[in-house]
Amino acid sequence: MSVIRSQRPLQPPARLFRREEYLFAALALPASVAWFFATYWSDGWIWAALPPAALLLHCLRQALTSHLEGNGVRITTRQYPDLHVRLERCCRKLGLARVPRTYLIHGWSRLHSLTWRLLRHRLVMLRAELVDALDSDVDAVDFYLGRELSHLARPHAGYGWWILPALPLPLLGSAYRRAKEYTADRCGTLCCRSLHSSIRALALLAAGPRRWQNLDAHAFVEQAAHSGGFWMSLQELTATAPWLCKRMARLPSPPMAVPRRHLLAWPVAAVLPAVGGGGFLANLATLGVLGLSLMLVALPAYEDYRHSTVYHPLFSYAHNLAQAAKIRYEAEHTLTATPAELGFGRLPLGIARVHMDEENGRITLGLTEGSNIVYYPYLDTAARIVWRCTTTLPRQHIPWDSRCNSSSEDGSAPIAWLRQLARL
């Protein structure tokens, strides 16, 4: 990067970043909570991932720099000095003390440019097709230079990684991304010599590199009148960029009036996570994936809860019977033959039979469905009975407060697969 030596950088108007900073602060709070819990649950090990992540980003930057250095044209005072002068002027207007390394590259599939920032390393990639398309209005190139440089000029540019956990939040995450687009447009307009050139620069994105010169800007802005409908409002509330017609309407100062978003679109958008560039359909698909994931977790958990609730009285009866037999043995040193001798009445529903072995003290409960619950007695060093419980029921049917071990597999294959997936 070269230093701007001719003139001191100007202080950009604070209003350029005001709305974006408010939304950044609103996202920073839930993001801080997420980082706190991530640190707590991982015992701080999550921060051990920072060095590998920084190394990965460094490798990506080097790969991108190598690609641009090998295939792109670096804009300098010798190479395209006219663009370099515009670049210096835009940096000065946005308060940047250094001109970032900027490349002109041909062959990318979209008309958008790219800005990369990693610590002190800054890269700007400018599309050659974009510059060529604006050959009849070269001042409009300043709009795109200002847009790309705005990503480096914003006050919180180096802290974007902090709010990453909060970006998927419905409404708020998308609003922040849209605010960044409006901020970039305002920075582009600040760098432009005329509002007309800024409007023509946006016309290029709307109509393409051939038809943009014949675009009727007033008619295009009038299309924003339909943005107050439910579907356009919902699409915009879940998108990462505003409608182009609304962006063009916001360029003048004061901005042109646009309709408010549909009221019913807000509650629908409030349940759709902001996942990025896919808009409403991508957010809806993400919600479906999240719902499916929750179902994969909830179904096995509900099945386990239902079965453990059904079998809880049976395990409770078996435990009480074993404890009563233990108390009698320790008091009389005799083994019990039937539950009736211990004061137990009718067998509870679900237990078909009870066999109490008078020779070894083993208690076997035969359930009506064919499974068994068996208590094996052992004597400890103080000649007291210690019970060990086993059952042929699957493990998920055993109540959580029971110490019984299962000798069976986990039910059917599909449910077992869901259960194992839920436990990951």
Question: What one-character-per-residue DSSP string does 59-72 give?
Answer: HHHHHHHHHHHHHS
Do 242 and 373 have their domain in common? Answer: no
Do 253 and 320 have their domain in common? Answer: no
Note the pLDDT tens digit of each residue in 43-98: 888 888 888 888 888 888 888 889 889 999 999 999 999 999 999 999 999 988 88
What confidence score (pLDDT) does residue 281 get?
Answer: 63
Q: How many Å from the N-terminal Cα to the C-terminal Cα in the chain? A: 48
Is residue 378 domain-resident?
yes
Instruction: Name the residue type at position 230.
Output: F
Kind and range of the H or E run holding 99: strand 98-99
Is the pLDDT reported for residue 37 higher than 80?
A: yes
Is the pLDDT reported for residue 292 higher than 60?
A: yes
Is residue 92 domain-resident?
yes
**Residues of the chain above pLDDT 90, percent:** 35
Contacts of 245 (CB under 8 A, 6+ apart): 206, 220, 221, 222, 223, 224, 227
Give the residue-averaged pLDDT of 375-391.
85
Do 311 and 254 have their domain in common? Answer: no
Q: Do β-strands 73-74 and 385-391 pair in parallel, antiparallel, or remain unpaired?
A: unpaired
**Taking the CB of residue 255, how many other CB atoms lie within 10 A of it?**
13
Structurally, the chain folds into a number of domains equal to 2
Mean pLDDT of the chain: 83
Is the pLDDT reported for residue 317 higher than 50?
A: yes
Note the pLDDT tens digit of each residue in 394-416: 887 888 778 888 887 554 444 44
366-400 burial: b if 16+ Cβ within 10 Å, else e: bbeeebebbbebeeeeeeebebebebebbbbbbbe
Contacts of 265 (CB under 8 A, 6+ apart): 230, 233, 234, 237
Is residue 285 domain-resident?
no
Do 149 and 47 have their domain in common? Answer: yes
CATH code of the domain containing 350: 3.30.700
pTM higher than 0.75: no
Say which residue, 285 or 145, is predicted with more confidence: 145
Is the pLDDT reported for residue 108 higher than 70?
A: no
Note the pLDDT tens digit of each residue in 341-372: 888 888 888 889 999 988 888 999 999 888 89
Distance CA 149, CA 162 (A): 21
**Residues of the chain above pLDDT 70, percent:** 84
Q: Do β-strands 73-74 and 101-105 pair in parallel, antiparallel, or remain unpaired?
A: antiparallel
Q: In terms of residue numbers, what domain contains 411?
A: 295-422
Do 260 and 206 have their domain in common? Answer: yes
Question: Looking at the DSSP assignment, which residues form a beta bridge with residue 364?
Answer: 355, 374
Is residue 286 domain-resident?
no
Do 29 and 169 have their domain in common? Answer: yes
Is the pLDDT reported for residue 288 higher than 60?
A: yes
DSSP label at 255? P
Distance CA 117, CA 100 (A): 10
Contacts of 139 (CB under 8 A, 6+ apart): 192, 193, 194, 197
Is residue 207 domain-resident?
yes
Do 34 and 178 have their domain in common? Answer: yes
